[in-house]
Amino acid sequence: MSMENLASIYDPERVEGKWYDYWKQKNYFEPSGDYSQPHYSIVMPPPNVTGQLHLGHALDNTLQDILIRWRRMQGYNTLWVPGTDHAGIATQARVEESLAAEGLSRYDLGREKFVERVWEWKRLYGDRITTQLSLLGSSCDWSRERFTMDEGCSHAVREVFVNLYEKGLIYRGDYIINWCPKCHTAISDIEVEHADSDGHLWHIRYPVENSDEFVVVATTRPETMLGDTGVAVHPDDERYAHLIGRNVVLPLVGRIIPIFADHYVDREFGTGAVKVTPSHDPNDFEMGLRHDLERVTVMKPDASMNENAGVYAGLDRYECRRQVVRDLEKDGYLLRIEEHQHALGHCQRCDTIVEPMVSLQWFVKMKPLAEPAIQKVLEGEIRFVPERFTRIYINWMENIRDWCISRQLWWGHRIPVWYCQDCGEIICSREDPVACPSCSSSQLKQDEDVLDTWFSSALWPFSTLGWPNDTADMQHYYPTSVLVTGRDIIFFWVARMIFSGIEQTGKVPFHEVNIHGLILDAQGRKMSKSLGNGVDPLDVIEKYGADTLRFSMITGVTPGNDVRFQWDKVENTRNFANKIWNAARFVLMNLEDYSPIEIPDNELTLADRWIYGRLNQKIAEITNLLDNYELGEAARRMYDFIWDEFCDWYIELAKPRLFHPDNRRDRAVVQNVLRDVLMQTMKLLHPFMPFITEEIYQYLPGHGETIMLEAWPRYEPNRVETDRIEQMQLIMAAIRSLRNIRAEFNISHGIAIKAIISAPDFKIRELFRQYGSYIKDLARVSELETVEGMEETPQQAVSALLAFAEIYVPLEGIIDVDKEVSRLEKDLKNIDADIAKTDAKLNNDSFLAKAPADVIAKERGRAEEARLRREGLLQRLQIFKSR
């Protein structure tokens, strides 16, 4: 293949789409179906159907894709199931917005037409996010793509609902729930976000019936007093003991309500007397149950006041508050107003302040479900990575409350319950009923509500595999291997999948949960629409390519921790991709007469053995890091290996052997090593940067159909020759020292220098003699001499001191005495500090007694070496100073 058509700047656009299409068309994303191999399966956290890919998805799916690609190369029978979520409230809200633009509301259309409209919307935008996932390079099995409202998933939802209902784990009733006045629906506890805000504490006097006395209550929400049906005090509170059992007359309303005692009341807070509004406060609701209080609901679903609010009916809740306060003040009931900070609940979706209200809703009884879900995790059947998330999960599960699952929406899974209009029978069944089983009436009306979106998400790991049918996929891929997701949905999703999986299938849905952090903006803030600080991953892909986006998001990232998105880092990664590209170009350009050969070890040079050793160390390290989900560290090591070791050292050392080979054979050897190392490196890098690695792979001689299905590089311990690696490192140190001298004395690289290496150890001298060419080539040395010791230290020379050798560079006429003296003095200072440290240790008896032998030996060696260097330095200094 000719190299002229490879541009010197890597262009991801010309590469990525091409290979993705190729992979997909060849069905490489599908499982191998080789059941003799262990399976490795992941279900993708389903993004919202009508949503757009954001950086959070990009990170999440990159992590999954890395794991799947890596396991696939390892030979596992891998399955990654993609899909989308119907996202009840979110999707419905968007369609309502679009209707609003036409001046319509969903009520204008009616339920059926509206739902049809949402389906249309889904058909229109449903592909967008999956296309975007493809652009990222996600190797998920599109032939198994699912949607939470498709037939199969809906079937699973129905089955689970009926199961739970039949077991008595789903019930319907009037309870206090969180109501969003804007979304017009109940929401669950975790969909409420609490935010501190500055408010007031109004102290209101409630006149005691048939008395001149008042009870003063304090409230943050005075408008709710219209629904008060009692006043609570602490049973042991002497201030109020005489009033227990009496009544107060509710101001503005005139209702006679009881004063009662309840341990819930905190004597220290406020006045020690609490107005009780069972219909609009969760604690009051509980007290209402304990004391059999009347419930008076005073608000409508839009949070305006209803007819129970008397003259305030029709007012918005906050207008009503102002009015009530004004009236209380006017009538002398308002005692005082305090500044007060408290937490207000907001709707996660629309940020509206949530109103606690009593309402008829469906609930899942959580305690029985939570218990085994806690057990399985404690028993280690499910492992959280990082481990610290285990406790977060357990704590939440232990304190879980019943889950309100009904939503007053139209878009979602409709609750499979019918009410007989004639006899009132409630029918919950797997099949749509045609007649009432009790009275045979056909007058059946289905429940109007739909289920919380998370109800169907909770079934995702098995509903996508065909459950409740006993499908082949269920048999082969369930339980799944790992769930990868953001730490923000541990409660919403992870926890619910765990208890649902255990309850419905009898098995945990996955064995490991890999939790990652959030993507923040460059200032460390959450990305949000309102801040306008979001970065569109598609922009990044368009400008820099998917490989760059993937790699830049994960490098140097600690598991579970948040990541800041920075364009600097993206550019750096782009440069890295370019570096890889050009390294590959270099290799390919020099492979025109390549032929694969078997190379006996003795034909490998020191550099060859070094790079093979380093490569194999990387294979072991990276495999191990991936095993532990430390993908960021794995990526970092790839980067260092490729850039520093392969490019800056190995390729540089290979050049002379390619351009001016001593013999044809050595040229063939270096060609083989270059190809081989590049090939293996591309395989190691492939899970991280799938596109560029496939592109390069396809140019490399001896490539197969696709890098995707190549075997993951095997660690060969015999390739790691530590003594060779150390030798190479000594030579590298010598080269660096010589380059340093060059730089310090401004010797242009055009001028060749002479170097003398003095080493008392014969082996070291031999090493430098044998590999003198490395030094000559990389440090531009024309003449290299090795001596046992300098009879006389040359005066017209600068020196560099290595561990086992001294290097002299004669620089007659060029030498700057002052500069050399200050160089030497700086070195001396460092060495003295070094000696002080090592001596302190070696003079410490407990160190000698307790430290491991190898550490002591290392310390001794260091001390000895430092002393030798110090002597040499002093000698040199002497010479210069005496001149």
Partner RNA sequence: GGGUCGUUAACUCAGAGGUAGAGUGCUUCCUUGACGCGGAAGAAGCCACAAGUUCGAAUCUUGUACGACCCACCA
The amino acid that residue 249 corresponds to is V
Instruction: Indicate which single residue of 43, 274, 404, 798 sits in contact with RNA (rule: CB under 7 A).
Output: 274
Interaction between residue 867 and RNA (CB under 7 A): no
User: Which one, of 88, 115, 159, lies nearest residue 416 by Cα?
Assistant: 159
Dist CA 48 CA 148 (whole Å): 10
- Residue 717 vs residues 417, 625, 627, 635, 860: alpha-carbon distances, Å: 64, 17, 19, 22, 30
In whole angstroms, how close is the CB of 2 to RNA at the nearest point? 14
Quick one: which H or E segment has residue 153? helix 151-166
- Interaction with RNA in 303-342: which residues (CB under 7 A)? 342
Interaction between residue 814 and RNA (CB under 7 A): no
In whole angstroms, how close is the CB of 232 to RNA at the nearest point? 7
Interaction between residue 296 and RNA (CB under 7 A): no
In whole angstroms, how close is the CB of 647 to RNA at the nearest point? 4
Q: At a CB cut-off of 8 Å and minimum separation 6, what does 875 contact?
A: 793
| Contact window for RNA (CB under 7 A) among 408-416, 456-464, 530-538, 732-740 | 732-740
In the complex with RNA, the residue whose CB is nearer, 93 or 520, is: 520
- Interaction with RNA in 398-427: which residues (CB under 7 A)? 399
- Interaction with RNA in 491-510: which residues (CB under 7 A)? 491
Interaction between residue 239 and RNA (CB under 7 A): no
Interaction between residue 275 and RNA (CB under 7 A): yes
- Residue 347 vs residues 151, 177, 192: alpha-carbon distances, Å: 30, 12, 5
- Interaction with RNA in 548-567: which residues (CB under 7 A)? 556-558, 561, 563-564, 566
- Interaction with RNA in 177-196: which residues (CB under 7 A)? 189-190, 193-194, 196
Instruction: Indicate which single residue of 265, 369, 696, 807 sits in contact with RNA (rule: CB under 7 A).
Output: 265
Phi and psi dihedrals of 258, rounded to 5? -80, 150
Interaction between residue 847 and RNA (CB under 7 A): yes
Tokens representing residue 422 in the block: 């004639």
Question: Cβ–Cβ contacts within 10 Å for residue 484, how many?
Answer: 26
Interaction between residue 630 and RNA (CB under 7 A): yes
Quick one: DSSP state of residue 96? H
Interaction between residue 617 and RNA (CB under 7 A): no
Tokens representing residue 858 in the block: 């290392």
First to last CA, the chain: 63
Instruction: Indicate which single residue of 19, 866, 873, 876 sits in contact with RNA (rule: CB under 7 A).
Output: 866
Cis peptide before 468 (omega within 30 of 0): yes
Dist CA 794 CA 545 (whole Å): 56
Give how far the C-alpha of residue 682 lies from the chain's centroid of Cα atoms, to the nearest Å: 25
Query: Using an 8 Å Cβ cutoff, are 638 and 686 in contact?
Result: no
Interaction between residue 819 and RNA (CB under 7 A): no
Size of the site for RNA (CB under 7 A): 99
In whole angstroms, how close is the CB of 759 to RNA at the nearest point? 20
Q: Please report the DSSP string for 750-812 in residue order.
A: TS-EEEEEE-SSHHHHHHHHHTHHHHHHHHTEEEEEEESS-SS--TTEEEEE-SS-EEEEE-T
- Interaction with RNA in 4-43: which residues (CB under 7 A)? 8-10
In whole angstroms, how close is the CB of 622 to RNA at the nearest point? 13
Interaction between residue 270 and RNA (CB under 7 A): yes
Q: At a CB cut-off of 8 Å and minimum separation 6, what does 756 contact?
A: 784, 785, 786, 787, 790, 794, 797, 807, 808, 809, 810
Interaction between residue 568 and RNA (CB under 7 A): yes
Dist CA 875 CA 883 (whole Å): 13
Interaction between residue 633 and RNA (CB under 7 A): yes
Question: Cβ–Cβ contacts within 10 Å for residue 552, how many?
Answer: 27
Phi and psi dihedrals of 503, rounded to 5? -65, -45
In the complex with RNA, the residue whose CB is nearer, 270 or 278, is: 270
Interaction between residue 172 and RNA (CB under 7 A): no
In the complex with RNA, the residue whose CB is nearer, 715 or 847, is: 847
> From start to end of 503-571, where are the E strands?
510-516, 519-520, 563-564
In whole angstroms, how close is the CB of 587 to RNA at the nearest point? 8
In whole angstroms, how close is the CB of 274 to RNA at the nearest point? 4
Site string for RNA, 375-394 (x = CB under 7 A): -------------x--xx--
Instruction: Indicate which single residue of 85, 281, 645, 721 sits in contact with RNA (rule: CB under 7 A).
Output: 281
Interaction between residue 850 and RNA (CB under 7 A): yes
In whole angstroms, how close is the CB of 762 to RNA at the nearest point? 25
In whole angstroms, how close is the CB of 326 to RNA at the nearest point? 20
- Interaction with RNA in 744-773: which residues (CB under 7 A)? 744, 746, 748-749
Measured CA angle at 86 (ends 85, 91), to 5 deg: 125
Tokens representing residue 604 in the block: 């490998």
In whole angstroms, how close is the CB of 588 to RNA at the nearest point? 9
Dist CA 582 CA 118 (whole Å): 49
Interaction between residue 583 and RNA (CB under 7 A): yes
In the complex with RNA, the residue whose CB is nearer, 533 or 572, is: 572
Query: Using an 8 Å Cβ cutoff, are 433 and 444 in contact?
Result: yes
In the complex with RNA, the residue whose CB is nearer, 513 or 557, is: 557
- Interaction with RNA in 516-545: which residues (CB under 7 A)? 520, 524, 526
Instruction: Indicate which single residue of 575, 624, 729, 878 sits in contact with RNA (rule: CB under 7 A).
Output: 575
In the complex with RNA, the residue whose CB is nearer, 709 or 868, is: 868
Kindly provide the b/e burial profile for residues 720-733, where b requires at least 16 CB atoms within 10 angstroms of the residue's own CB.
Answer: bbeebbebbebbbb
In the complex with RNA, the residue whose CB is nearer, 40 or 454, is: 454
| Contact window for RNA (CB under 7 A) among 100-108, 112-120, 508-516, 570-578 | 570-578
Phi and psi dihedrals of 162, rounded to 5? -65, -40
Tokens representing residue 605 in the block: 């040079």
Query: Using an 8 Å Cβ cutoff, are 486 and 357 in contact?
Result: no
| Contact window for RNA (CB under 7 A) among 215-223, 300-308, 329-337, 463-471 | 215-223
Kind of pairing between the strands at 146-147 and 83-84? parallel
Interaction between residue 291 and RNA (CB under 7 A): no
In the complex with RNA, the residue whose CB is nearer, 189 or 425, is: 189
Dist CA 81 CA 460 (whole Å): 10
In the complex with RNA, the residue whose CB is nearer, 559 or 687, is: 559
Question: Cβ–Cβ contacts within 10 Å for residue 796, how many?
Answer: 12
Interaction between residue 283 and RNA (CB under 7 A): yes
Interaction between residue 841 and RNA (CB under 7 A): yes
- Interaction with RNA in 648-667: which residues (CB under 7 A)? 648, 651-652, 655, 659-660
Q: At a CB cut-off of 8 Å and minimum separation 6, what does 298 contact?
A: 223, 224, 226, 227, 279, 280, 305, 306, 308, 309
In whole angstroms, how close is the CB of 836 to RNA at the nearest point? 9
Instruction: Indicate which single residue of 834, 842, 870, 877 sits in contact with RNA (rule: CB under 7 A).
Output: 834
Interaction between residue 272 and RNA (CB under 7 A): yes
Alpha helices in 105-150 (DSSP H): 106-109, 111-136
- Interaction with RNA in 84-123: which residues (CB under 7 A)? none
Interaction between residue 219 and RNA (CB under 7 A): yes
| Contact window for RNA (CB under 7 A) among 140-148, 150-158, 272-280, 690-698 | 272-280
| Contact window for RNA (CB under 7 A) among 15-23, 319-327, 599-607, 643-651 | 643-651
Instruction: Indicate which single residue of 108, 120, 166, 266 sits in contact with RNA (rule: CB under 7 A).
Output: 266
How many CA atoms does the CB half-sphere of 465 hold within 13 Å?
A: 24
In whole angstroms, how close is the CB of 454 to RNA at the nearest point? 14
Interaction between residue 740 and RNA (CB under 7 A): yes
